[in-house]
Amino acid sequence: MAGRKSDFTLTKLDDLFTTQAQRDEEQLSKIRDIPLEEIDDFPDHPFKVREDEDMFQLVESIKERGVITPATVRQKEDGRYELISGHRRKRACELAGFETLRCEVVDLDRDEATILMVESNFQRSQILPSEKAHAYKMRLDAMKRQAGRPSKNNSATLLQNFGGKTTREIIAAESGESHEQVRKYIRLTNLVPELLEFVDEGRIKMRPAVELSYLNEDCQRDLVDEIDLNDCTPSHDQAIRMRKFFEEGKLTTEAISAIMSEEKPNQREKIVLRGDRVRNLIPKNIPINQTEEYVCKALEHYNKFLRNRAERDSR
């Protein structure tokens, strides 16, 4: 019938001339036990392998039943293997004392492997913002390379196979997040490691983190110093002002210090002690680096003295 696509184009030609048993046998031929020493981790793998309780449970499971679901690798030009999915399984095998890892060998180029690596790891139950940020960025770059250069009429890379959608729109649709949220996560890859760690810890929220991602590395490191000094992180409003100052060429170290010195709801109350006055009350044989410990112990003894005196007075 006119206008209808043939079902023939939707089926692999090989499937027309092979039985299911033959296809299963071909699949099994790609699964083998590969020495761990021959398997390299995926370059710049964005997902962390944590040796937590889940890992120790996986180790015990592998000791008892082996690797049930094979890892996925591709063979490199030098004959070694590159791990695409299964970094936790590989580490668990190492901890269990195994010398090999059950793997399926697939024939993929680097960009195809990157996309598969991101997709397979997104099945994890817990993913840190930094992991998601770098994973989205790696997949975005891989898809752009696959798509080629953008057209002259549109600066955004388009994939013709996806109805002219941008790569970020495709990632958003497949991840279940909005296009804007994907953009924000990718912006986080511009943060220095210290600030990105604050995001993972929940000390810096997404909105101020995105604003801070527009600062250059020097300004971001000045900000890290101020965060350590003031023991607080910037609010969204402060982050917006720092970005505005930066774009105007006015974000100096002094400007960052002034903004971060402002009182905020998330700023902890600080106790300031004059160094000369405190030092005069501490024996000369106490080193400077032990001053804090000495003062704390002195306060403990003083509080104990007050409690004992109060007990005597109440008798």
Question: Which amino acid is residue 37, in one-letter code?
Answer: E
Q: Residue 81 phi/psi, 5° resolution?
A: -115, 145
Per-residue pLDDT of the chain (315 residues; tens, 9 = 90+): 444 333 433 344 455 555 555 555 555 558 999 999 999 999 888 888 888 888 888 999 999 999 988 999 999 888 899 999 899 999 999 999 999 999 999 988 888 888 888 888 776 657 889 988 898 888 888 887 776 644 444 444 444 444 556 677 777 766 667 888 889 999 999 999 999 999 998 999 999 999 999 999 999 999 999 998 888 899 999 999 999 999 999 999 999 999 998 876 555 545 555 555 666 677 777 766 677 777 888 888 888 878 877 777 776
Rounded to two decimals, the pTM is: 0.59
Q: Where are the beta strands (DSSP E) in the chain?
A: 31-35, 39-40, 71-75, 81-85, 100-105
| Beta carbons of 131 and 123 less than 8 angstroms apart | no
Q: In what order do the strands lie in the sheet with 100-105?
A: 31-35, 100-105, 71-75, 81-85, 39-40
Q: Which residues pair with 104 in a beta bridge?
A: 31, 72
pLDDT tens digit sequence for 139-183? 888 887 776 644 444 444 444 444 556 677 777 766 667 888 889
